[in-house]
Amino acid sequence: MGISQTIDGTGVLLLNLGTPDAPTASAVRRYLREFLTDPRVIDLPRIPWRILLEGVILPLRSPRSARRYQTIWTERGSPLLVHSEDLREELALRLAANGRDLPVPVALGMRYGTPSIHQALKTLGVLKRLVILPLYPQYSAATTASAFDGLAQALAQTPRVPEVLFLTEYHLEAGYLDAIAHSIQQIWRQDGTPDFLLFSFHGLPQKSVAQGDPYFHQCLATAKAVSTRLALEPTRWSVSFQSRFGPAQWLPPYTLSRVRELARTGIRNLDVVCPGFACDCLETLEEIAVENAQAFHEAGGGVFRYLPALNASPGQVEALAILIERKIAGHPPTPSPT
């Protein structure tokens, strides 16, 4: 990425979930194996789960998921990786424009797949301080805590461990909320307002909330704050949860069911926004924009719009830069011995 290997200052590491290296069954299988063997993601007894995973789930799901990835793959590769890398580049430019004596390099690491967190740390080189920003606005053990696990594993291979400044969440940060509201307002000014706005967040097993995970309440708080900025009446918006997996009870209402319900109750024009996704990916571009759109139409709905993630937009770049700069300012480096 063109970053020096000998910087002795502060660096930034963006963390995202990850993506297969190619839209093929074999690449998807490698990715899913790494993802679905994380105990933070699947909290089941290890041996029975591995037997089920290797014998049933991966053989069936990998080809099916590969076909879905093929529908969204771009010339530059996976949308999640492309948007995450674009965000990294824009954020590096924004931080560099602040006139610091030393540059603040920015690297990108994926919890699963490539570039790995270990690779990203090697790219950054030797640092005194490291600001870690998982690109998950709402905290969850399955995402944010797992990212911390991956970081710890990678740092265990590093001779010099820097001071780590870990940003755990930003679900109610003003810049983040303003950026989402502004992106929605831009679309509405250009193409008109819908009858209803659905906030769809990635799903989570209900038992996680019972165990104290704040994710559900943070999702509700984000949606309420954005709807307030949009001056939406309570009858014109709601929250749902997508991408459930397996037989366990997940957070209701399920997005697919909610989309069908809205169509059947007379909503003709529906917009769906996914504020929990910093960058567009399979779950937004295929699951929401294609699968849920089809379900809405089949249930009698009219116009369905998926409103894109913030990606590398100026609003997101500025919001994240402020978060990082505030974190750095609040933790001045230890003076070097004279």
Which tokens hold the place of 150?
């991956």
Find residue 89's DSSP bridge partners.
none
Which residues does residue 132 pair with via DSSP β-bridges, in sequence order?
A: 13, 166
How far is Cα 204 from Cα 201, in angstroms, rounded to an integer? 9
Contact call for residues 240 and 254 (beta carbons, < 8 A): yes
Whole-number pLDDT of residue 159: 87
**Is the bond into 253 cis (omega within 30 degrees of 0)?**
yes
User: What are residue 108's DSSP bridge partners?
Assistant: 14
Quick one: pLDDT at residue 245?
79
pLDDT of res. 91? 97
Tokens read off for 90: 């824009």
- pLDDT for res 337: 47
pLDDT at 4: 41
Check: CB of residue 12 under 8 Å from CB of residue 133: yes
Residue 231: per-residue pLDDT: 98
Structure token digits, residue 94: 């924004």
> In tens digits, what is the pLDDT along the chain, a chain of 338 residues?
444 444 468 999 999 999 999 999 999 999 999 999 999 999 889 999 999 999 999 999 999 999 999 999 999 999 999 999 999 999 999 999 876 656 789 999 999 999 999 999 999 999 999 999 999 999 999 999 999 999 999 999 988 899 999 999 999 999 999 999 999 999 999 999 999 999 999 999 999 999 999 999 999 999 999 999 999 999 999 999 999 877 779 999 999 999 999 999 999 999 999 999 999 999 999 999 999 999 999 999 999 999 999 999 999 999 999 999 999 988 766 555 44
Cα 97 from chain centre: 26
SS3 labels along the chain: CCCCCCCCCEEEEEEEEEECCCCCHHHHHHHHHHHHCCCCCCCCCHHHHHHHHHHHHHHHHHHHHHHHHHHHCECCECHHHHHHHHHHHHHHHHHHCCCCCCCCCEEEEEEEECCEHHHHHHHHCCCCEEEEEECCCCCCHHHHHHHHHHHHHHHCCCCCCCEEEECCCCCCCHHHHHHHHHHHHHHHHHHCCCCEEEEEEECCEHHHHHCCCCHHHHHHHHHHHHHHHCCCCHHHEEEEEECCCCCCCECCCEHHHHHHHHHHCCCCEEEEECCCCCCCCHHHHHHHHHHHHHHHHHCCCCEEEEECCCCCCHHHHHHHHHHHHHHHHCCCCCCCCC
Residue-level pLDDT at 319: 98
- The owner of tokens 């709601």 is 238
pLDDT at position 201 is: 98
Please report the domains of the chain, with CATH numbers, ordered by start residue: 10-171+314-329 (3.40.50.1400), 174-307 (3.40.50.1400)
Sheet with 10-19, side-by-side order of all strands: 106-113, 10-19, 129-134, 163-166
Angle formed at CA 95 by CA 112 and CA 6, multiple of 5 degrees: 70
Enumerate residues 6+ apart whose C-beta is below 8 A from 178. 229, 315, 319
**Please, are residues 304 and 263 in contact by the beta-carbon 8 Å criterion?**
no
Does residue 44 contact residue 164 with C-beta atoms inside 8 Å?
no
Predicted pLDDT at 7: 45
Provide the pLDDT for residue 97: 85
Task: Tell me how far apart the alpha carbons of residues 12 and 326 are, in angstroms, rounded to a whole number.
Answer: 13
